[in-house]
Amino acid sequence: MLIGIVAGEASGDFLGAQLMSSLQKRMPALRFVGIGGPRMQRLGLDSWYPMERLSVRGYVEVMRHYAGLVAMRARLRTRLLAASPSLFIGVDAPDFNLALEAGLKRQGIPTIHYVSPSLWAWRGGRIRNMARSVDHVLALFPFEERLYRSAGIAATYVGHPLADAIEPGDWTHWGREQLKLQPGRKTFAMLPGSRQSELQYHADLFVKTARCIASQIPEAQFLVPLVSRETRVLFEAAQYGAQAQDLPITLLFGHAREAMASADAVLVASGTATLEAALYRKPMVITYRMSPTSWRLISRMRYQPWVGLPNIIAGQFLVPEILQDQATPENLAQALLNVSRDPAIQRRLPERFADMHELLRRNASERAADVVMPWMQKN
C-alpha cells in the first residue's frame, strides 16, 4: 500500500517520521512517496524534491519563490495522481499542502492534515479552505479539535510528539555531559531557526546578542545548533562580518535538544523550537524578524498578542517575546540575562512548563496512526 506524504521543514520531518514509524509497525509493507527530510527518508520515504525548497516563511520571502513553488506543487500533484496513493498526509506547511490536498481530494484521494494551521492566531478565513481540502485534521493542541468540529470539520486532538519524545524531568546534566561542556560556565543556547531565510534575518542579530552578553559575563558560552550546511555557512558569515570569531560560540550540526537541555537560558526564533525549550523547562526569550512588508501584513491579521507556542498554550506571557524592530542585540541580551538570573523565574517557570508537558503528552504518533488506519482500510 502506498501513502503520499509531504513535510516542509525540520519540525515537520520529525512529526512525519514519528507517524511513519507508528504506521509501519502496523503495516510493515507500507511505502511512502512525496517530500520529506532525512528522518523520513531514513524510514524509506522516496522524497521526490528537496524539503529545503519548502522552508520559506514570510509573504515577501514566499513571493520571491512563488512561481517555483507553484510549478513544483503542480508536478508533485501530477506524480501523486499517477502513483494513486491510498491516502495523502500533509504535515504542516499549510500554504503548500492545502492547495495540494484540495486537488487530490477532488480526484478521490482521501487527505489528512497533520498539524493545524494557526487559525486561532491569524488568517482564520483559512478554515473554509480547510473544509474544501481535507477529510480529517490531526490537531496537536486540545483547543484546536473544538475549533474544527464547531466548523463541521472532522478533527482529533492527538497531543504533541515532542511531549512524548522528551521524558519529564531536569535534563541539564545530561545535556552538558553529552556536549562535554566545561562545568560552572553560564550557558546560552541560541536557535536562529531552520530555514535559510530565517538565518538571513537572525544570524547577525544572534551573533551581536552573544557579544553583548559576553561583555557582561566574560565566561559565558554559547551553543548554536544548525540543521544544514547552508545555514551553518550563513551563521559563519555573520560571525566573520561582525568580527566575532573570538566569541565562545560552538556551532553544532543538529544537537538542538542537547543544546537546549544544557542551557541556563535559550534565545529561540518563534516556531516549534519554543515548545521544545519549554518541554526542557528552560527560561527563554522568543524572537523573530522578517521583511518589513511581511511583518506589516502578518501583524494586521493577528488575533492574539502572542506568537510563541508556550505563551499561546498558556494564554498569557509566560516568557518574553521581542519581535521585529524591538529585536535588537541590546534588548535580547538584557532579556536573556534577566530570565537567567531571576530566582522567581527559575522557581516558577519549570512548574508551569511541567503542567504544559503533562497536557500535551498523549502518545501522539500512535493516536494519529489510530485515525489514519481506517482511512487506509477504506481503499
- The reply to whether 90 falls in a domain is yes
Q: Which domain holds residue 191?
A: 172-360
Write down the H helix ranges in the chain. 10-26, 38-42, 59-83, 94-106, 126-133, 142-150, 161-165, 172-178, 196-216, 229-241, 256-262, 272-279, 292-301, 309-314, 329-341, 343-360, 364-377
Q: Provide the pLDDT for residue 84.
A: 96
| Whether residue 225 sits in one domain with residue 194 | yes
Q: Provide the pLDDT for residue 123.
A: 53
| Whether residue 70 sits in one domain with residue 18 | yes
**What are the cell numbers at 338?**
534577566
Q: Provide the pLDDT for residue 62.
A: 52
| Whether residue 127 sits in one domain with residue 238 | no
The whole-angstrom separation of Cα 26 and Cα 301 is 42
Q: Provide the pLDDT for residue 60.
A: 45
| Whether residue 192 sits in one domain with residue 338 | yes
| Whether residue 182 sits in one domain with residue 91 | no
| Whether residue 316 sits in one domain with residue 297 | yes
Q: Provide the pLDDT for residue 280.
A: 98
| Whether residue 64 sits in one domain with residue 108 | yes
| Whether residue 267 sits in one domain with residue 202 | yes
Q: Provide the pLDDT for residue 9.
A: 84
Low-confidence spans in the chain with pLDDT less than 70:
55-66, 119-125, 301-303, 379
Residue with cell 552578553: 213
| Whether residue 231 sits in one domain with residue 151 | no
**What are the cell numbers at 132?**
474544501
Beta 155-157 vs 187-191: how paired, if at all? unpaired
- The reply to whether 275 falls in a domain is yes
Whichever domain contains 62, its CATH number is 3.40.50.2000
| Whether residue 211 sits in one domain with residue 177 | yes
How buried is 276 (Cβ within 10 angstroms: 0-12 exposed, 13-18 middle, 19+ buried)? Answer: buried
pTM (2 d.p.): 0.82
- The reply to whether 165 falls in a domain is no
| Whether residue 371 sits in one domain with residue 343 | no
Q: Provide the pLDDT for residue 301.
A: 66
Instruction: Name the β-bridge partners of 286.
Output: 268, 321
Give the angle 249-250-254 at the CA atoms, nearest 5°.
135
Q: How many domains does the chain have?
A: 2
Q: Provide the pLDDT for residue 125.
A: 62
